Structure 1
Amino acid sequence: MSQLTLFDDDGIQTNPVLSHKNLIRPALLKDLPFDKIYEVSRKEASRKKPIFFIHKYFARRTTCNFRLMLLSLLLPEKTNVWDHFYDPGTINKNDDVTIFDPFMGGGTTIFESARIGAKVIGNDLQPLSKLVTSAEIMPAPVEKIKKEVDRLDKAIGVKIKNYYTTCCPHCNKDADVMYNFHVNQARSKVNKEIIELYSSFVLSEKKGVLTLFCPECSEVFKSDSKNKVHCCSHCNHTMANPREGFVNRGKYKNPVTGEEDFIRNYKDGETYPFKTKIIAQEYNCSHCGQHDYKKVDLNDIDLNNQASEELAKLRDTLPIPLQLIPHGYNTKQMINHGYLKFQEMFTDRQLLCLGLLLKEIDMVEDDDVKFWLLVAFSASLEMNNKFCRYQYNAWKISNIFFNHAYVPLTMPVENNVWGSKLGTGTFIKSVNKLIKGKEFNENIYDIFINSKGESDKKYSTDKVNMRLGESFAELDKNTAFLSTGDSRRLDFLPDNSVDIVLTDPPYGSNVMYSELIDFFHVWLHQTNIGKNFGFTDPLSPKLDEIIVNPVRKQTYDDYSNGLKEVFKECSRITKKEGYLIFTFHDSKLESWFSVIDAIARSNYKLIAAYPIHSESRTGAHTSSKESIAFDIFLICIKDVCNEQEVSNELIESIKNEAFFNTDKIIKRLENINAEITIPDIENFFISQFFVSMFSNHVILSSALKEHLSITIKSIDNLIQSEKVVSKRTGWWSALYNPKHSKI
C-alpha cells in the first residue's frame, strides 16, 4: 500500500498543509489525541529510536508526543491530526516556521522540528546538550569514521584488547573477556582482616540453571535453580539461598562473627571503596565458540596487576579526569561512601584503557571525524565504570544511570573497554550505535500498533541532515542554530522572531542534571575538541541551573524566578500569534505553584493542558512504585492576565470545571486501558484547575493555593476510577531486584 503524503507527486496539496498560518486556529484548539498516541509512546519509551541511542541524556522524552504536538499546531483546526500522524511531508518551502527550545536537553524538540522542515534554534546551559543534539541532527562521514576506527584499532585497540583476554577453559586458547565480576573489599572492624562485601553469589540465571560463585574456594559452578541447597562442585560448600549475600540494604553482616555495620562506615581511604577483587569472568571464545562464565586464574590476576602498574607509569600523560566530586544532592551518597574524585569511579584497568583511547582520539587530524569518535567515546563511559551492575537474569551489564542517581555497588561489573564480538556498551558498540543512528536519519520511522496489538514500524520519506550555524543570521531550513548558555539571557535572538517555543524544562527537584552530567563532562573537558565545543570549565555549569536543589540551597522561589525570566525572554522573541508549550509533572504542589506563577508573571496565559505518556518506563526511578506515568503538555499564548476578584463561588466553579475535565480525561484513558496512578490523577486535576483559573482571569492567590492543597489530599475519594493502578510496570521489573543491585 502506498504511503500517504501531505502533497501529491505534482506538489498539489492533497491533505491539510503544515503552515504557520494555521497557528491562528490550529487543530490543537480542538483536541490533542493523547489517547491515540498513548500506546505508541509506551512502546517507543521501552525501545527508543536509534538516533537517541547514540548518547545518554537524562529524562529525554519520546519523540512521538512532540511530533503530535507540532502537527497539532501546524495543521488547521478542523483536521483530525491522528489521521495524518504517519504522513510524511514538511512545511512548504515558501512557508517559514521557526521553533525554539530554551531547555534543549537531549534534542527531542530539535530533531522533530528539523524533520518537518522548520527552522530550529536550541539553547541549553550544558555543553553536553549541544554535543548530543548536534550529533543527532548532523550528517556523519560514516566511511571516514570506519576508516579511522580501523586505524585506532591498530594504534591502540590491540593493546586495550590484550588487557581483556583470558584462557578459554575448553580449548585453552585466547578468549575475549566480556565482563569481569568484582567484589569490593573492606577491613573488618573486629579483627582488621580483609572482608569481602558480597551482596549475592549468583552470576547468572538462564533456563532454570544458576551460575554461582563459591566464596570459600572461588570456584564457578552450575546448579539447578529448583535445588533447595546448592553445593559447590569443588569444595562442597553449600548455600541455601545464593541470592542472599553478606550485604543487604546498605548493611554488611558477617555470618560467622556476626559483625554488622553500614557499608559506608567501612570507608578508610585504602580498602573500601577502592580495593576490589576479580571473582569471575564472562568470556567468549572465537576459536571453539564457547560463551560462558569462568573462575579467575593467576594469569587473569596478573593481567589486572599489569594494568595497574602501567597506569602508575602513564597516569600523568593520559587525559584522565582530576576533578574532585562536588558536594550535591546526587553526589552526597557516593561521597558518603568515600569517593572523592571522579577517577575513583573507575578501575585502574578502565582508567588506563579509557585514557589511552581518548588520548589517541584527541590526536585525530580530521576534526569532523574526531567529533564523532568523541561522541562514541563519551557514550561508552556509562557502561565502563565501577557503578555498573550485572542483570543476572538478562545476562548483560546495566549502565551507571539505571536510576537518575549515583548508586555505589559492592559487586560492580567491569566491561571490555574496546569491545568484543559479544557484549554491549563498549567503544566499538558505541561507534556502531552511532552509525545505526545516522542510518535512521535517512530512513526515519514511527512506531505504530498493528492489528495484533504489537508494535511495528512505519517508514517515512522524511530525513534529518542539518548543518550547524554560528548565529541567528545563518538560520535556515538546512542550518540549525544551537547555542550554550543561560536561557534567561537570549540577546542573540531578535524580538518577534520565533513562532513556537516547545520545550521540556527541569521539573523542580526531579532531576539534578548538572550533577549527573559531570560524569561525562569531566572526561570531555580533558580534550582539545571538547574545549572547542564548550567544555571549557572543569565541571558542568551549576550556578545558573534552574532547579530546586536543597543541598545547593536552590529554592522553589529561585526555580520560579528562573522560569519566569526564561519565559519572559521567550515572550519577547515569540511572535504575537506564537505559542509557549512545555511538558511538566510533579508530585509536589510547590513545583506546580512555581511553574504557574512563572507563566503568569511572563505575560503568558495557560489555555489548555493535555496528558501524554511520560519518559521511559524502564527505569527504577519511574517504575515499580506509585509514580507519575504522564507528563502534562501546558499550552500557553501571549496574554496579560486581568485579575478578577476571587470569591468562594468562583473558586468552587473553577474546581468543578477542573473535576469535569479531569473526569473526561480519565474516561478517555480508561477506554484504552491506560495505566493510571493516583499521582497521575492529581496532576490531571491540578493542570485543569489552573487552565480554569486562567480562563476566569484569576491569578494564583493564597486562597487558591490553600483550596487546591485541601482538594488534592482527598482526590482519590473525589474522583472514582476502577482502573487506577498502585504501581507502574515495565519490562525490567521482572529482571531487576533492588536487593541485589544496591548495597
Structure 2
Amino acid sequence: MQELKLEFENKEVKATSVTCLGITFESDEARRTYFREELRRKLPELKQIEGFPIGEDEDIIRLSDPPYYTACPNPWLNDFIAEWEKEKIELEEQGKRQHDFKVEEPYASDVSEGKNNSIYMAHAYHTKVPHPAIMRYILHYTQPGDIVFDGFAGTGMTGVAANLCGSAEDVAALREPDAKVGVRHSICSDLSPIASLIAANYNLPFDPVKFEKKANAILKQVEQEYGWMYETEVNGKRAKVNYTVWSDVFICPNCNKELTLWDEAVSLEKNEIKNEFPCSYCGTLCSKKNMEKAWETYFDTVLKKPVSMIKTKPVLVNYRLGKSRKENRLTDFDFELLKNIDKIETQNIAPFRMPEGSEARRNDRAGIKHIHQFYTKRNLIYLNRVYELIEDDPFLKAWFTSTLQRTTKSYKFTLDRKFGILSGTLYIPSLNVELYPFNILSRKIRDFTKTSYLQRGNSVISINSATKLSFIDDNSIDYMFIDPPFGANIMYSELSAIWEGWIKVQTNNKEEAIINQVQQKTLFEYQSLMNRSLREFYRILKPGKWITIEFSNTSASVWNSIQNALQGVGFVVVNVSALDKKQGTFKAVTTTTAVKQDLVITCYKPSAELLQKFETTQDKSENVWSFIEELLLRLPVHLVKDNSTTTVVERNPKILYDRLISYYVQHGYNVPLSASEFQKGLRERFVERDGMFFTPEQVIEYEEKKAKAPDIVPMALFIGSEIEGIEWLKRELKTAPKTYQELQPRWMQDLVTPKKGDELPEMMQILEENFLKDEEGRWYKPDLENEADLEKVRTRKLLKEFNMYVEMASKPNTKIRTVRLEALRAGFKEAYSNKDFATIVQVGNRLPESLLMEDEALLQYYDIASSRV
C-alpha cells in the first residue's frame, strides 16, 4: 500500500493556494484538514439535528470534504448563501443579472429527456431525473448567480443542472429561446449518505487524470493479488472469466432428490427456461412453486461461525480467450479453484446486519442476512481489497460503490444476456450472474472520467432531514426543484443498505418520508413528514419565487397528500405537466404497471405584497381578488399542442375557485364567497375567453397567439363524479338546449366508474338540480341570477343529505359505505364555516379511507378540523 501512495506523491503538481469562505489556505489539502477539524468540533451540536446519520464520528469525517460536502448536516450553508448573495451584486454590476428579475408564467411545456448521458449513467441509484430536464426548469425560473435548492437531492442532479447552466454548449443544446447562460449555485440536501456521496462526486471539483491514474493503480495491484480467482482452463490454456452463472438447488416433492434448476429447466439450445419440467429422477412434474429449496451449512469466515443458506451451484462460465468470448459448463479446474477460494480467511470485513424492513430483510428466508452474504466469496475478497486501497478519497469511493449492485447475487440471468437487477428491490433470482469485478470497475473508470465538466464547484452538499433545515435562514432561496419520495414506491434506506454498509455511514430513517409497515408509517405519517418538509421549503424560499415538484406514483391518495401538503403550507399550485425520462428501468421496461412518465407540479410562494395584505387586513374577503389576480398572472396564457390552442385547465372558474377555497381554508380564514358569487365577481373583473379567465392585458396576448393556432382542443371530459357530470352537461348545453333523449346516449358513452364509496346521481337528478327546462322539454344553462338561485336550492338538498350522514356517524360502530360526494363537500364546507370541526372529524372517521384520502377538498377540511378538535 505504501508503494502505491509514493507513486502519486512523486508526480504531484506543486500545490497552489486556495480561498474558501474568506480563509486562504496554502493548498486544497490544508483547506480539507482545517475544515475536518472544525467539523469534528461541531459534531456534538450537529448530532441533535434531525436526520443526523448513523455512524462513528471518524467514518463521518473521513467521508466528508468540508465545507463543500459533509456526511452530516452542513453547518456552513448560511455562510455560502451570504457569499453567493455578494456575488449577485457583482454580476448585476457586470450586466449579467437584473435586479428586478421576475418570472410571471410557469414552465408549462411537457419535457422529454433521455437518460443516456455520461453523467446519468456513471452511478446507478433508485431514482434520478436527467440533469438536462432540470436545466430547462432552472433556466426558466432563475438568472445567473441565483441559489437553487433541492431538499430530496438524491445523487445531486439538481446541482449538476445548476452548474451546467454555465456551459454555453449545454444550454444551446436545449434550444430554449430565452435561456441565459451563467452558473447557478445550489444546495443539495438528502437523508441518504450514499446519495450524498454520489452527489459530491458529480458536483465537487474533479481531476479526471489524477482519478484515472489512482483507480488504475488500485486495480493493477488487486489484479496482481487476486486476479487468479477469475481464471478458467480451456484445452490446457488459461482464460479470463467474464461471469459465472449460479443456480438454486431444489428438492423434488415426490422423491426428495436434489434438482439443480439450471439442469432441469434451462435449454440453451432451444433458448428457453421452462416453468414446468419432469424430475430427472422420478418423472414427477415439477415447478419452482411446488418445490422446496435445498439448504446447506458452511462456516462463514466473516461471522466466524457456521450458518445455513439456500444451496446454489455454479453451472456456466463465460470466458474470454484471446479475442473470442465463449461459455462452457464448469470443469474440475473450476470446482477446485472455488474450493481453494473458500479456504481463504477474509480480513478487515465487519459483519453488517441488514436493517429492519420488508425489503432489506426479504432474503432472510434464504439465509442471506448480512451484506457480505450478498456476494460470492471471491467477489467479496476482491471488492474488499479494492476498498482497502481507496482510503479517504470520495471520488474513488463513489467509483467503487457504483459497482456494488452489479457484483451482488441480485444480477439476474436472462437468455438474451441482457442481465439486470429488478429495480426498487433486493430480489435475488434463482438463476443469478456473478460478474468479474475487474471488468465493471474498469468500465466505470472510463464512465467516471466522462463526468468531468468545467463548471463543477458551485454546489454545497449536506446530509439531513428535509423536516429541519437548521442552517438555512428564512427567505434565502431563489428556486427549488424537488423530486421527493412518493409513498410506498421505493424503500430508499433499505435499498441503500448494500452501499452504506461498505462506507459505514447509514441513513437515519426516523424522518424518512415513505409509507412503510415496519417503520409504522402509514399514509398519514407520510403526509405529516411531507408537510413538515414542505413547510421548511416554504420558509426558506423567497416570496414570489417558484418551486417545481416531480411526482411519480399511480396512487391518487399519495397525489392528493402531496397537493394537500403543498397548499397546506402556503404554496399555490398553478400547473401540472409531464416529464418523460424516456429509457425505463428494468422494472418499467418489463412490467405493465410501472410508471413510465412522471408529472411535474409547479407552485409559487405568494408575493411579499400579497402576504403583507393578508397580515394587515382584518377582513380577509378584501384580498380575494388580489389573490385571484396574482394567480391569473402566474398561469400560462396560451398553450399549443399539435398546432392547436389547448385549454389551460387552471383558468377554468371552478379550478380558480378551488384554489381560492384551498388557500383560505388552509390558513384558517372564513370562506368569503359562494361559487355563484365568485363567478359573478370573476366576470365583473376579468375577461372570459373559451371558458377561461384572463386579465385585460393577458387576453390581448391570448387572442394574438390564438390567431396563429385557431383550432381549440377542449379538455377531455369523462363522467366519474357528480361535479364532472355538471361540467359535462354545461359543455353539451353551451351551444344549444337539448332534450334528455338527446343527452342520454352520449352521457352513457362518457360514463366511467366513480371512486369507491361515491354514489353518482342519475343524469336526470343532476339536470333538475343545476339546469332549467323550457316549454319544449329542452334543458339549458341558467343565467347567473337563476344559477345562484339554483345553487341555493341544490345546497339545501345536499345539506339535508349530509345531515343523514351525520346521524349515521353518531351511531356507535357504524361505517358509512357509500355517499354522495357533493353532499359531503357541501356539509364539510358548511361545518367549517360554522366552526363545527367535531362534526367533520366524526363523519370523516366513518368514511372509507380511500374516499377521504383521494378527495383533495374533503382531505383539506378533515385535516384542518382534526387539528382544531
TM-score with structure 1 length normalisation?
Answer: 0.65
Pairing 1:277–2:313 present: yes
Q: Is structure 2 residue 140 aligned with structure 1 residue 72?
A: yes
Mean CA deviation greater in 613-622 or 375-384: 613-622
Q: Give matches, 1:111-510, under 5 Å.
A: 111-116=160-165, 117-169=183-235, 172-188=236-252, 190-198=254-262, 223=269, 242-244=272-274, 256-258=283-285, 262=289, 265-266=292-293, 268=295, 270=297, 273-286=309-322, 289-310=323-344, 313=345, 315=346, 317-319=347-349, 322-362=351-391, 367=392, 370-393=393-416, 395-398=417-420, 400=421, 402-419=422-439, 426-438=440-452, 441=453, 463-466=454-457, 478=458, 480-510=459-489
- 1:668 aligned to 2:641? yes
1:115 corresponds to which letter in structure 2?
A: L
**1:24 maps to which residue?**
102
Please say if 1:609 is aligned against 2:582.
no
Q: Which residue of 2 aligns with 1:698?
A: 662
1:155 is displaced (CA, Å) by 2.8
Against the structure 1 CA distance between its residues 575 and 719, is the aligned structure 2 distance closer, same or farther, given a 3 Å change threshold?
A: farther
1:97-112 alignment runs, 5 A limit: 97-112=146-161
Deviation sequence 1:649-707 (CA, Å, 0-9, x none): xxxxx9xxxxxx99x98x937999xxxxxxxxxxx9999999646533336999xxxx9
1:267-323 residue CA offsets vs partner (Å, 9 max, x unmatched): 64649854321111111113xx2221122111111111111111xx2x2x233x522
Task: Give the RMSD, CA atoms, in angstroms.
Answer: 4.3
Which residue pairs with 1:454 in the alignment?
none
What SS does structure 1 have at the residue aligned with 2:587?
Answer: coil
Q: Deviations over 1:123-163 (max 9, x none)?
A: 10011121011111223233333333343244322232211
Aligned partner of 1:4 in structure 2 is: none
Residues 1:261 and 1:122: Cα distance change in structure 2 (over 3 Å): closer
Report the alpha carbon displacement of residue 481 of structure 1 after superposing the two structures with TM.
1.7
Instruction: Provide the C-alpha distance between the structure 1 equivalents of 2:374 and 2:653, rounded to a whole number of angstroms.
Output: 46
**How far apart, in 1, do the equivalents of 2:407 and 2:220 lie?**
21
What CA distance in whole angstroms lies between the structure 2 residues aligned with 1:491 and 1:267? 53
Deviations along 1:163-205, one digit per CA (max 9) or x if unpaired, are 1111234xx4221110111111245555554321239865xxx
Q: State the alpha-carbon separation in 1 of the partners of residues 264 and 592 from structure 2.
A: 24
Contact 1:613 1:630 in 2 (8 A): yes
* Matches of 2:208 and 2:493, distance apart in 1: 31
Q: Secondary structure at the match of 2:563?
A: helix
Whether the aligned pair in 1 keeps the contact of 2:190 and 2:463 (CA below 8 Å) is yes
Displacement of 1:429: 1.6
Q: Structure 2 CA distance, aligned partners of 1:514 and 1:689? A: 43
Compare CA radii of gyration and give the structure with the larger one: 2
Map 1:651-730; keep pairs closer than 5 Å: 668=641, 692=656, 694-698=658-662, 710=721
Q: Which runs of 5+ in 2 are unaligned?
A: 1-90, 166-182, 299-307, 615-627, 629-634, 667-717, 729-745, 751-869
Check whether the contact 2:126–2:423 (CA below 8 A) recurs between aligned residues. Answer: no
Aligned-pair identity in percent equals: 17
Q: Is contact 2:134–2:158 with CA below 8 Å preserved after alignment?
A: yes
1:498, distance to aligned residue in structure 2 (A): 0.8
SS at match of 1:306: helix
TM-score, structure 2 normalization? 0.56
| Structure 1, unpaired ranges of 5+ | 1-12, 75-90, 203-211, 214-222, 226-240, 420-425, 442-462, 467-477, 526-534, 643-653, 655-660, 673-683, 722-743
* Cα separation, partners in 2 of 1:670 and 1:244, compared to 1, 3 Å: farther
Deviation digits for residues 605-631 of structure 1 (CA, Å, limit 9, x no counterpart): 112222221474243246541543332
Give the length in aligned residue pairs.
543
Name the CA shift for 1:699/1:436 in 2 (closer, same or farther; >3 Å).
same
Residues 433-492 of structure 1 show CA distances to partners (whole Å, capped at 9, x for unaligned) of 111222xx2xxxxxxxxxxxxxxxxxxxxx4321xxxxxxxxxxx4x2210011111111
Structure-2 separation of matches of 1:326 and 1:57: 19
CA-CA distance at 1:100 after TM superposition: 0.7
What is the CA deviation profile of residues 358-383 of structure 1, one whole-angstrom value per residue up to 9, with x for unaligned ones?
Answer: 22323xxxx4xx32222121111111
Partner of 1:218 in structure 2? none
Q: Is the 8 A contact 1:509 1:549 kept in 2?
A: yes
Rate the CA distance shift 1:612–1:396 in 2: closer, same or farther, 3 A.
Answer: closer
Report if the CA contact (8 A) 1:186-1:273 is conserved: no
User: 1:564-603: per-residue Cα shift (whole Å, max 9, x none)?
Assistant: 1111111221111222221113221211221122112212
Q: Relative to structure 1, is the Cα distance of residues 563 and 254 closer, same or farther in structure 2, using a 3 angstrom cutoff?
A: farther
- Match for 1:133: what amino acid? A
1:504-545 Cα offsets, whole Å, 9 max, x none, are 1111211111111111111111xxxxxxxxx2xxx4321110
SS at match of 1:620: helix
- Paired with 1:384 and 1:637, the residues of 2 have a C-alpha distance of 44
**547-556 or 632-641: which moved more?**
632-641
Q: Tell me if structure 1 keeps the 8 A contact 2:487–2:558.
A: yes
Offset of residue 546 of structure 1: 0.6
* Inter-partner Cα distance in structure 2 for 1:308 and 1:688: 70
Q: For residue 710 of structure 1, report the CA deviation from its aligned partner.
A: 4.2
Cα 1:59–1:23 change in 2 (3 A) is: farther
Higher relative helix content: 2
Superimposed CA distance per residue, residues 70-118 of structure 1 (whole angstroms, 9 cap, x where no aligned partner) = 12213xxxxxxxxxxxxxxxx55xxx31111100112121111122211
Alignment check: 8 A CA contact 2:572 2:663 kept: no
Contact 1:597 1:700 in 2 (8 A): no
**What is the rounded CA distance, in whole Å, between the counterparts of 2:263 and 2:575 in structure 1?**
50
- CA 1:524–1:588: 2 relative to 1, 3 Å: same
CA change 1:637–1:483 in 2 (3 A) is same
Contact 1:199–1:245 (8 Å) recurs in 2: no
2 CA distance for matches of 1:372 and 1:720?
59
| Counterpart residue number, 1:79 | none
Change (3 A) 1:253 1:374: farther
Q: 1:391 to 1:268 in 2, by over 3 A?
A: closer
Q: 1:625 to 1:711 in 2, by over 3 A?
A: farther
- In 2, Cα distance between the equivalents of 1:265 and 1:465? 54
Structure 1 residues 627 and 415 mapped into 2: Cα distance closer, same or farther (>3 Å)? closer
- Label 1:260 to 1:201 Cα distance change in 2 as closer, same or farther (>3 A): closer
- Judged with a 3 Å threshold, the aligned counterparts in structure 2 of structure 1 residues 608 and 385 are, in CA distance, closer, same or farther, namely same
Partners of 2:588 and 2:596 within 8 A in 1: no
Question: 2:249, 2:649 → 1: CA distance?
Answer: 51
Give the whole-Å Cα distance in 2 for the aligned partners of 1:101 and 1:135: 17
**In 2, Cα distance between equivalents of 1:351 and 1:168:** 25
Code of the residue aligned with 1:305 in structure 2: it is K
> How many angstroms does 1:19 deviate by?
4.6
C-alpha displacement of 1:338: 3.7
Query: Once the 2 structures are TM-superposed, how far is the Cα of residue 385 of structure 1 from its aligned partner?
Result: 1.1
